[in-house]
Amino acid sequence: MRGYPVKTNLISANREVLNWKNALIFVLFLFPFFEPLSLRYVLSSSIAPIFEYLRFFFSIIVIFVYFNVNKRISKSVFFLVFFMMAYFVVSLSSIRWTLLAFFIVDITGIIMFFEIVMRRNKGTIIVSMFYLLFALCFINLIYLLVQPEGITSIGSQEVWNTAGYYNTIYDYVNFLERDNRLMNFLLPLWCSMMICYCKGYISKRMTFIVMLIIGMTLILVWSATSIIGGLVISITYFFIVVCKRKMRLLTFRNLALLLFIVNTAILIFNIQDKLSYFIEDILGKSSTLTGRTFIWEIAKSMIADSPLIGYGTREKGYIIAIFGSTWYAHNFVLDILIQGGIVLLVTFLFFIYSCYKSASSFKDGYAVKIMLVALAAWGIMGVSESFFYQYSFWITVSILSNIKYIENTAIH
């Protein structure tokens, strides 16, 4: 059965299949894209931007290598270029040209990097990412146990209820990220763990350890956005690892339909008002989703005024003015629409679909199912957050686009 978890010895599998010299190089490349946010505030101002420059430098090298070693570009890279052209056009009014250049180069570098290395090294890049994220998430869990309030404060924000904003809270950052964005690390960790397990690179016992780290982290931070994403991957883990089910209903079409229904129900029909008991009494959040419903209403009215090309990408989408501050849309779809309108959203969807099509020949394999679940988790969490500028999201898409090289790999 294609993609079925292989029962094998962890050490012998690593020695037989993996290229550890290349793995070390891959870790050095990936680490700047999984930058622990706390380092940005702990290090001096002159050292903190080093991760940005490293990402840009590595991406430039990858782009140069890609066009020199490939006679023709893949369909996913073609649609990526098409999407980036649309992103550039809608950003012409942007006042942050440096941000624009860094984003385009970094994302292009990520997509091309995974295509190059997964074509030639197959599982090595996935295992490298797994051990890197395992170490980072383990360190973050230790910090959460020792310093549950976070490492350092990075400012304050207003928290709203139905009567308006009523309280000022201080925003603390953990070792890796803020509470509601720790899935930027936990979700790629889960993806790499599941693929490594299904291809026989790690043991079942290791998967239990990883799920324990993920579960404890989510319980300690208790972020509603992360909890929802955690439930999605936990259910998938139970069916694949514990029950060894193929989960045939996990198709691109079904998951896309699910995301469409969820976004429509919340953004248009305000179903969250009917789920106030679950949101307020169980999750301990306000029915306004910590003020997000106010932001959505303003964002929708702004989109209606400029539906075609939006308002540009300045300040990573922080263009919604409320109470003297600027906010981003706190919804993946609205965030794209408010920055680049229908033009940017359509080109983005074409790119995502092209990534799936490149893997569709192995659509019944475990690895493809896992990456589709990860993509769905990003989409579900994207109802209340936007991950457009998060490298972890683009890395997930990159792996899906090139997962055919993993599915086509034999362990022994």
Token readout for 198 is: 């299904």
CA terminus-to-terminus distance, the chain: 15
At 137-184, the pLDDT tens digits run 999 999 999 988 777 666 555 554 444 444 444 567 888 988 888 999
Q: What is the mean pLDDT of residues 184-196?
A: 95
Most confident of the ranges 41-45, 96-100, 142-146, 294-298: 142-146
DSSP 168-231: EEEEEE-SSS-GGGTHHHHHHHHHHHHHHHHTTSS-HHHHHHHHHHHHHHHHHH--HHHHHHHH
- Structural domain includes residue 212: yes
Predicted confidence (pLDDT) at residue 8 exceeds the cutoff of 50: no
User: What pLDDT does 283 receive?
Assistant: 61
- Structural domain includes residue 3: no
Cβ pair 76, 355 in contact under 8 A: yes
Token readout for 215 is: 């579960």
20: enclosing H helix or E strand: helix 20-30
Q: Please, what is the average pLDDT of the chain?
A: 82
Most confident of the ranges 140-144, 241-245, 252-256: 140-144
Write the CB contacts of 174 (distance below 8 Å, at least 6 apart in sequence). 37, 38, 140, 143, 144, 150, 151, 182, 221
Cβ pair 137, 214 in contact under 8 A: yes
- Report how far residue 190's alpha carbon sits from residue 211's, in angstroms, rounded to the nearest whole number: 8
Which single residue is written with the structure tokens 């259910």?
A: 235
Token readout for 194 is: 């599941």
- Structural domain includes residue 42: yes
Which of 2-11, 205-214, 353-362 bottoms out in mean pLDDT, i.e. has the lowest? 2-11
Which of 92-101, 114-123, 148-157, 362-371 bottoms out in mean pLDDT, i.e. has the lowest? 148-157
- Structural domain includes residue 4: no
User: What pLDDT does 324 receive?
Assistant: 60
Most confident of the ranges 134-143, 285-294, 396-405: 134-143
- Structural domain includes residue 283: yes
- Full residue range of the structural domain in which residue 147 is found: 10-407
Q: What is the mean pLDDT of residues 259-287?
A: 75
pLDDT-above-70 percentage for the chain: 80
Instruction: Kindly give the residue spans of alpha helices, DSSP state H, lying in 306-390.
Output: 332-359, 366-381
Cα 324 to Cα 158, 321, 327, distances in angstroms:
11, 6, 10
| Cβ neighbours around 62 below 10 Å, total | 22
Most confident of the ranges 119-123, 323-327, 381-385: 381-385
- Report how far residue 118's alpha carbon sits from residue 96's, in angstroms, rounded to the nearest whole number: 33
Three-state DSSP string of 42-102: HCCCCCCCHHHHHHHHHHHHHHHHHHHHCCCCCHHHHHHHHHHHHHHHHCCCCCCHHHHHH
Write the CB contacts of 191 (distance below 8 Å, at least 6 apart in sequence). 370, 371, 374, 396, 399
What is the count of structural domains for the chain? Answer: 1
Burial 95-107 (b: 16+ CB within 10 A, else e): eeeebbebbbbbb
Token readout for 33 is: 């894209």
What pTM did the predictor assign? 0.88
- Structural domain includes residue 125: yes
Q: What is the mean pLDDT of residues 355-373?
A: 86
- Structural domain includes residue 1: no
Write the CB contacts of 180 (distance below 8 Å, at least 6 apart in sequence). 221, 223, 224, 225, 226, 385
Predicted confidence (pLDDT) at residue 42 exceeds the cutoff of 90: no
